[in-house]
């Protein structure tokens, strides 16, 4: 496999300005709907005190006003989730008459000291949005042992972090998982991509709830049987824009998208097939990106456009959060 492909430069368009937020922390992922935008924001309590630190994420609901260009999305209400970790996973879907968000949950504490603040999520689960409600990750019906996200349930070592995405029709679910090579040097760094029949995963979660359980495991028979495409793994030449994963996405054709970019980078996006082939990439540019410390987070494909979030950390709060897009045909 070659190195990450050189990106083609394309132009991004500002879609939404986000208003009414309470905190300046980076938005990890947006989900753009028809009436509302939902925003996932990590806002820990006492992050510098290990004795009183609480890992906190909020899902915010923002009302869309598309009477202007760009449109605005204004804060309405929130739901609090404790101990679900640092994640860029937030996908809405319906199952058996319920509206759910698919989110990252739990967090990995077995990380280098300099990364203790990251709190990377290492499980995935479904949450029903209820404004004003507070839940803990143990309240969430969830998929665990993601180091074993494979057709035979075999492990690639110790898990470091995981993210996920749903196809546009919610039929398939991608698990993106990276092993904990930093804490276990004998393990070769590995990133694994596994695609599941998402309805089968939800049926397994339903059965677990009926039995009084909250978890299903990747090496359970019903979960292994739900694997649509046997995992594709990388052990070198990683498919990481700017060397990082700031979110993943999956299309109905099972093409995999990864985005990356820190405050010093232009947003970069890669696309490949579920087997790792047909790799291509683009770099999104706009004059607005040049003069601010702008961090790229999250990716969503909707109506043939690629949406992504930018947090401009130099700006006041009502000018800090934006959603941009470009045509998926730019790839």
Alpha-carbon distance 44 to 229, whole Å?
36
171-190 pLDDT per residue, tens = 999 999 999 999 999 999 99
Per-residue pLDDT at 1 exceeds 50: no
Alpha-carbon distance 298 to 86, whole Å?
12
Tell me what percent of the residues of the chain surpass a pLDDT of 70. Answer: 98
Per-residue pLDDT at 290 exceeds 80: no
Alpha-carbon distance 272 to 254, whole Å?
9
Taking CA 140 as the corner, what is the angle to CA 139 and CA 143, rounded to the nearest 5 degrees? 140
**261 and 242 in contact (C-beta within 8 Å)?**
yes
Please, which pLDDT band fits residue 291 given cuts at 50, 70 and 90? low
Tokens of 156: 């690639």
pLDDT at 21: 97
Entry pTM = 0.95
Q: What is the mean pLDDT of the chain?
A: 94
- The more confidently predicted of residues 289 and 13 is 13
Tokens of 89: 């996973």
What DSSP assignment string belongs to 277-327? -S-EEEEEE-GGGTTS-EEEEEEEEETTEEEEEEEETTS-GGGTEEEEEEE
99-109 pLDDT per residue, tens = 999 999 999 98
Please, which pLDDT band fits residue 214 given cuts at 50, 70 and 90? very high
10-33 pLDDT per residue, tens = 999 999 999 999 999 999 999 999
130-158 pLDDT per residue, tens = 999 999 999 999 999 999 999 999 999 99
Per-residue pLDDT at 321 exceeds 50: yes
| Residue ranges per structural domain of the chain | 8-330
pLDDT at 47: 77
Tell me what percent of the residues of the chain surpass a pLDDT of 90. Answer: 82
DSSP reduced 3-state for 62: strand
pLDDT at 189: 96
Per-residue pLDDT at 163 exceeds 80: yes
Alpha-carbon distance 229 to 266, whole Å?
32
pLDDT at 48: 75
- Consecutive H or E run containing 221: helix 221-224
pLDDT at 190: 96
Please, which pLDDT band fits residue 52 given cuts at 50, 70 and 90? confident
Q: Which CATH code is given to the segment(s) 8-330? A: 2.115.10
């Amino acid at each position: 496999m070659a190195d990450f492909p050189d990106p083609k430069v394309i132009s991004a368009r500002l879609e939404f300005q986000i208003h009414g937020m309470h905190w300046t922390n980076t938005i990890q992922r947006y989900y753009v709907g028809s009436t509302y935008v939902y925003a996932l924001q990590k806002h820990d309590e006492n992050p510098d005190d290990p004795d009183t630190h609480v890992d906190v994420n909020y899902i915010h609901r923002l009302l869309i006003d598309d009477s202007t260009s760009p449109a605005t999305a204004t804060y309405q209400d929130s739901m609090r989730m404790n101990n679900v970790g640092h994640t860029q996973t937030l996908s809405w879907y319906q199952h058996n008459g319920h509206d759910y968000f698919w989110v990252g949950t739990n967090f990995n504490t077995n990380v280098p000291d300099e990364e203790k603040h990251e709190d990377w999520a290492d499980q995935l689960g479904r949450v029903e949005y209820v404004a004003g409600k507070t839940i803990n990750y143990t309240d969430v019906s969830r998929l665990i042992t993601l180091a074993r996200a494979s057709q035979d349930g075999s492990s690639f070592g110790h898990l470091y972090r995981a993210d996920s995405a749903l196809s546009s029709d919610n039929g398939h679910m991608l698990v993106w998982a990276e092993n904990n090579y930093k804490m276990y040097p004998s393990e070769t760094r590995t990133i694994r991509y596994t695609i599941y029949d998402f309805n089968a995963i939800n049926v397994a979660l339903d059965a677990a709830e009926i039995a009084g359980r909250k978890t299903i495991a990747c090496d359970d028979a019903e979960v292994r049987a739900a694997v649509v495409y046997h995992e594709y793994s990388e052990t070198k030449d990683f498919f990481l824009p700017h060397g990082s994963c700031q979110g993943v996405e999956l299309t109905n054709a099972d093409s995999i998208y990864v985005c990356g970019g820190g405050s010093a980078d232009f947003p970069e996006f890669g696309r490949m097939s579920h087997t790792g082939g047909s790799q291509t990439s683009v770099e999104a540019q706009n004059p607005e990106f040049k003069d601010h410390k702008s961090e790229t987070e999250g990716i969503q494909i909707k109506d043939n456009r690629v949406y992504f979030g930018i947090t401009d950390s130099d700006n006041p709060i009502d000018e800090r959060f934006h959603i941009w897009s470009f045509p998926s045909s730019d790839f």
